[in-house]
Amino acid sequence: MDVRDDIKQLENEICLMRRELHQIPETGFETKQTLDYVVNKLTGFGYDNFDFSLAKNSVVVQLRVNDEPTSIGFRSDMDALPLKEETKRSFASVNGNSHACGHDGHMAALLGLCKYVMDHKEHIKKNITFVFQPAEEGPGGAKVMIENGLFQLYPMECIIGVHVMGEVEAGRIACKAGPMMARNGELFVNITGKGTHGATPHLGSDAIVAGSAFVSALQSITSRNINPLHSSVVTIGTFHAGSAENIIAETCAMKGTIRSFQDEAYEKIKERIQEIAEGVSKTYNVTIDAKIVDYYFVVDNDEKLYKLLEDVLQDDLQVVEPKMVAEDFSFYQKEIPGLFYYIGTHTDQYDQNLHSAKFDFDETVLLHVIETNVRLLEGMHVYD
């Protein structure tokens, strides 16, 4: 992608901001140092209308050019992962957390856009709202900000977000219309039977046998209860039971995840999990408590916004397959039209995927994010 010269001039500053943010990774809503950094930079760019009220350690700021209530929205997440970094870079984090999901890059790119539009304010024809949101990795900062009145206080025509992606060639913009990332929930299961000596199993109720049957039965949901064209996943990731080789286990605990691109399929999975739990309970004479916690909705890209992205990027846009990963940007898209796209980071040198302790990337790809967002603003007649 060709990047205009006045965006290229931001390269050193974007690189420095990303590296400075990379050194202060914070998790969840506990992003105070990160927030202070962002606000300090925005202040230096000329912004002063900060709103910290919508979620702990969040900030919303606007570039206002008229008295119209509506605006175009851009969002960046701010939080990191509780993962010890292993990149061995000079700016690697040392506090036990890591920006292994690239949110440092998202912030640097959005800060770069904030600076660019402020420096070119005379060309801006609509108000722009910038949302810096904590807790994307959980429990979901977007939901909190919406519940606290984000779109009532800042009506937006649409909102745009981006995510680095290690599976896409560095500098490439990748996206698709419609569902791009899955709806997800977490499954917590506790099985209680009756413990006894391993030599007298008839006197107890084996939680391991019941748990094994439960896990096996779950696999029939996606293969027999869900339309084969509606991609869905049910995965049990942990299974803990037993304390000794000669004792029938009295309890079993497991955790898993459910994912789908269709709300109807997702709800059907939840329904079948409870039915299977009831059936296994009766069959194996145990008690099963299966709790499902809903997290994020489907990231569902607005058709008109995607068409605009196609128009402004043309051959520079790569169409991607949907992924079963999840993103709380989906909460915004439940309320207003939204566009979420990837910026590729993959090179021979930077070949690690997201959530790896070794994930890293070349910051120059972030210039392509700013270029893309400016082109989108041009396409919406916000920037001339």
What CATH homologous superfamily does 5-180+298-379 map to? Zn peptidases (3.40.630.10)
3-state secondary structure of 33: helix
Q: Find out whether 132 and 58 touch, Cβ atoms under 8 Å.
A: yes
* Banded pLDDT at 256 (limits 50, 70, 90): very high
For the chain, helix (H) and strand (E) counts, in that order, are: 11, 15
**Cα(153)–Cα(156) distance, rounded to whole angstroms?**
10
Structure tokens at 54: 């919508």
- Over residues 116-141, the pLDDT tens digits come to 999 999 999 999 999 999 999 999 99
315 carries an active-site annotation: no
Structure tokens at 80: 């990191």
384 carries an active-site annotation: no
* Banded pLDDT at 384 (limits 50, 70, 90): confident
Mean pLDDT confidence for 270-284: 99
Question: Which listed residue (85, 137, 302, 360) is catalytic?
Answer: 137
The CATH number of 183-294 is 3.30.70.360
- Over residues 35-73, the pLDDT tens digits come to 999 999 999 999 999 999 999 999 999 999 999 999 999
**Cα(17)–Cα(351) distance, rounded to whole angstroms?**
22
What's the mean per-residue pLDDT of the chain? 98
- Over residues 297-339, the pLDDT tens digits come to 999 999 999 999 999 999 999 999 999 999 999 999 999 999 9
Q: Tell me what pLDDT residue 332 has.
A: 99
Mean pLDDT confidence for 346-364: 97
The strand ranges marked E within the chain are 59-63, 71-77, 128-133, 156-169, 173-175, 178-181, 183-192, 196-197, 232-241, 247-248, 251-260, 287-294, 299-301, 317-319, 338-346
Question: Which listed residue (77, 85, 206, 363) is catalytic?
Answer: 77
Mean pLDDT confidence for 359-374: 99
Q: Tell me what pLDDT residue 342 has.
A: 99
Q: Tell me where in the chain the CATH 3.30.70.360 domain(s) lie.
A: 183-294
Q: Tell me where in the chain the CATH 3.40.630.10 domain(s) lie.
A: 5-180+298-379
Q: Tell me what pLDDT residue 78 has.
A: 99
